[in-house]
Structures are given as C-alpha cells and as structure tokens.
A and B are shown apart, each in its own frame.
Chain A
Amino acid sequence: MSENVDAARVRDCLAGDPQAFTALVEQYEKPVYNVALRMLRNPEDARDIAQSVFLKAYQNLSNYDPQFKFYSWIYRMAINESLNILRVRDRYAGPVDERLPEDGAGPSELLAEDQRRDVVMEAVEKLRPEHRAVIVLRYFVDLNYEDMAQVLEIDAKTVKSRLYTARQLLKEHLASCGIL
C-alpha cells in the first residue's frame, strides 16, 4: 500500500472519518499480528499486542509524522511492545547466540516439512531479541534495510550487521540439527 494512501487515511481519520481507521486496521492487522506472534511465539500475547498497538495508534494519531511511513510507525510499536513483554518475562533463556550447537537431529529428508518449520521457528525464538527483531521484520513483513532501520530507530549499517549475525547463527543452528 502506498504511503500516500496511508497518510490520506490518517488525515481522513483525524478529520472525523472513522472508516479511514478501519481501512488502516484491515490493511495492517495481519502484519502487526505476525510481528508480535513471531517475536513472542504466543498467539494470546500477539493478539493482545495487536489490539494494544491499534488502540495506541488511534489515540496518538495526531502525533504521527507523515514524513515517515505509517507502517514503520505501527511496526515499531509492535516490536517495542513485544520487547517489553520479553524483558518482563525474560523468556529467552539459552539464546542460540550464546549456546553451542546441539547434536544433529538427523538428516533433513527425515524431517517432515512442518517439523522443519518448527525447528526453524524454535531457532528464531532462541535468538536474542535484537536479532530476532531483524529476522521478523525481514521475513515476516518483508522490510528492506532502510525500512527496518526506521522501525528500529537504528542506522541501516547496524541493521545489516544484526541481520548477518542472526542469519549466521540460524545457519549454524539448522546445520547442527541436520536441516542444512
């Protein structure tokens, strides 16, 4: 969806057109939910975060700066809310980043496709939050370096570096599980 369309919807909503915000929810409900789900891997939490993100976006719509992309703004909220939950729960015990590779689980042909997906998602879940965030934004909402930098409020060089580290760790982990 073009940025101009989003900016126009925000403008319409601020001018009192409730349908404009409904259109934004329809447009971004799925990616926002996916960001939260892949960050937390818990559908209940992802649902709560999606609701909270849209409510906050609605309440703070007048603070939205149209020179930035609308989706960057709401994805940032989704990432930040997810990171807050992760901080509180400290759920990422034993991240891949700090762990030695596990013993191989067997050749890839023995693993069914859905099992492979589970292993991949488990590996993503075990990444440090800052590495997980770039993987989620790259693979689940298809952002490029520049957009990821805007969402995470870091420079594109740091995005690139985090993404490389994350992918390297995942590659090593998947190889140790016999998937590669």
Chain B
Amino acid sequence: MNLKVIAYVLSQLQFAVTLSLGVPFVMALYWGEACAMDFAGTMLISLGVGVALSNYGELEHDSLTIREGIAVTGIAWFIIPLLASLPFLAGHYLNPIDSIFEGVSGLTCTGASVIKDLDAVPRSIILWRSITHWVGGLGIIVIYIAMFPQAGSGAAKMFNAEGAGPTEMRVVPRMKSTANALLLMYVFFSVILTTLLLLCGTSLFDAVNLAMSAIATGGFATTNGSAADFHSLSVELVLIIFMLIGGGNFGLYFLAYKKGYKYIIRDTEFRVYLAIYGVITLLVALNLYDAMGWQPGEALRGAAFQISSIMTTTGLSTYNFDEWPAFSQFCIILVMLMGGCGGSTSGGMKVSRVIILWKMVGTIIQEKLHPNSIARVTMESQSQSSTVVYRVARFFFLYVMIALLAACAFNFDGLPVVDSILLGLSCMGNAGVAFGAAYTFYDLPDVTKLVCCLCMIIGRLEIFTFLAMLQPGFWKRNSNW
C-alpha cells in the first residue's frame, strides 16, 4: 500500500474542504459576525494539513488499488469530520465532544443536532452545518472525482468504497463522467428546490439552508422547531417532494434525462420505493386518525411529511412523533431501517437490498419445494449472482448486529431500551431522529455521543469499508497481499 499516493489524494481533498470552508467565511464577513475569525482559523488549519500532506505525497501511478481506495475513503471520512467540527469548537458554542458530534452528524447527513438553541448561534455557523450536509450528501469522494481532473481508474475503487449500494452502478462509461452527471443532477435539484421554497415564502437564508438539507437528506434545520416552524402546507409539500427525490437514485435521474423519462417509471427499485412510501403513509395516517383522533387531512399531512422525512433518512420533523401511537412508531422504525434507493443521498439498508433479500427468501422456498430447480434472484431482468445476494444478506446481519451492539452500549449508559434501539438504528441509517430520552440529543451522555459518531460513520461507509480497515493486515506497508 502506497502511503504517498494516499497522502496525495488526501491532500487534494483537503484543499477542496478548505475551499468549501471559504463560503461561510465570506458570508460571516458579509454579515459581520464574529465567528468569521473561527472560520479563518479553521481554513488555515485545513490548508496547513493539506499542504503537509501534499508535501509528503506524490502521485506515482494513476490507478489506486482497492486497498488504497478504501484507505483514502476511510481516512478522509475521519479527518474531514474532525475539521468540520473545528468552527463549532473555536467559537465555544459546543464542547469538544459535542463539536465532533455535530461535525460527524453534518457530514454523514444524519442531522442529529446537539445545539440547544439555534437562534443563539450565528448564521454563518448554521450555513456551515448545511454546507457539511450538502458536501457529505453526495459524497466527498464523488465531488472530488467530479471536480478534479486526474481521477483515473483508481477513482472507481474509492467510489465503491464510499458506499453506493449493493452493486456497482455506472450510468455512463467513464467514472469521471458518472461523477459529473451525479453532481449535475444534485446541483440542479438544489437550485430548483431553493427557488420553489422562495416562492413559498421563506426567506433566502432559510430556503438555501433547507434546500441543502433536504436534497442531501441530512436534516439540519435553521430553527429549533425544525420544519414545523414554517406552518406552511406549501413548504411542507415542496419539501416532501424534494426529499423523496433526494431519496431516489441520482444516476437514474441522469439516465432519464439523457434517454427519456420512461426509465424512471420502469425502474423496479423506484417503483417499490414509492409504493412502500404510499402504503406506509396511508397506514400511519389511518392509525393517527383512529388512535389519536386527528382530522383526516391533518393526519395525512403529518404522516406524509414524517414518513418521507424518515424514509429518506432526512430527519426534519413537523410533529413530535414521540407522542404518536406505537404502531406508527414501529412503522417509523421500519422505514428507517429500509432507507432510500441505492445511489441516493439517503442512508439505511437501501431499497434495492431489501428487494434482493425478499426475492432471496422466494428462491429458498422455491428450491425447497422443487429440489432440482435452480432459482435465481433477478433484478431488472438481470440475474444476480449468489455471491452478490449473500453479500447483501451478510450486510443486513452486520447492520443489525452493529445497531444492536450500539444499543446495548447506550442502554448500559442509561437510556431506556426502546430509545437505545432506535438510536442505534437511527445512527447506523444516518436518519437523525430518536424517541424519548434521546429526542433532544444534547442531553445524551458523552460516551453515548461518541458511540453514535462511530455508528454514523460506519453506516455511511456501509460497514464493509470500515471493517476492512480494522483488519490487522490492512495497513502493512509493502504488500498488496
């Protein structure tokens, strides 16, 4: 494993991060806020790290090995959240652990905030949070590939390491074009959402931040009450639609844009995604109407927003669903586990994996009843090899196990059982919601917060990447063995 190449790539990423820090810095100056100095300081540190890395590193050969790709992705996703937390720390808004939590939560698009009172925080800090969402949503790696010229075939390894769903999805032949395409759709939707929100009557500041948060399916809001503070049906509708878009496969959108809209309609995963959304929303709405006695319209509105928010692992909320009946809460757990489509900005298991697992059960039944037949799982009329299918099954197992282990840790730390299970699942799926005692994250004990951060990163990197780095033989310098 070539450390120099890794250092070089990391340095490039650092420079990109420095650039993105520039935006809140400029805005802070514009608004005349004191935290501009904090941003300046952070930019300097980030620049320093970047320069140090680029001095050490050199691009010896164009292609990265799998190991190097994983190492780059893994290290990047540790260093950059740390840097992202510096502005919070520097301005003394949060203590160190809380800053790290906020930084990680931002970049992994979880959206769990430990800031007690958003009104007391300068706007540039709020802007910075949303920017971390936006950058982390599509993926640090993807943006890097799109923007920097010499990506090469090593890029594919990094792209896969960052987590893009169960199978490698390429829309156009070259990696760089794929990354470009994704970035294009991403920017396009962000801009449209901003304009629409403006039309609905929000301020420019709110529109930009909410748009970044919704498209990246992150969940940081600009006010303490999250999306509820707007009290506007149109805002909620717009947000629902764009959150659902954010939970869809961006590659698919690009494909539809190039080759026709029928591709979206034909895509099984997308159809299942919308169908599940529709069914669960109706069930929850019925439950709210029935058990809590809400009006039908209100129930539908509340259910639609909340389910779309959680299914796409965004985390914006309009009601305090802590008070909702158990059935709805279990529905929430269900969709949180499922997540959005593969290739989207949301987290969770991803709908395509769930479909594969479901079909796998079908093949097992088939093989049992007709022992001589060979049943295969097919997605989009392409049969999936059994290695892929069972890798997905193992992923599911590890996902649940890690969430449960985290839940045990939380429980031991003092959280009630149901809350800790939900917190564990929520962090793994980068949803950013929690029930009960964890509803407001800032009250959580410190160890719990740190474990949460770890889970968020593991979930974002889709487990295997992270676990691969833990293997003892991984960091051996000389060999590719």
A binds B: no
B residues apposed to A, CB below 8 Å: none
Binding site for B on A (CB under 8 A): none
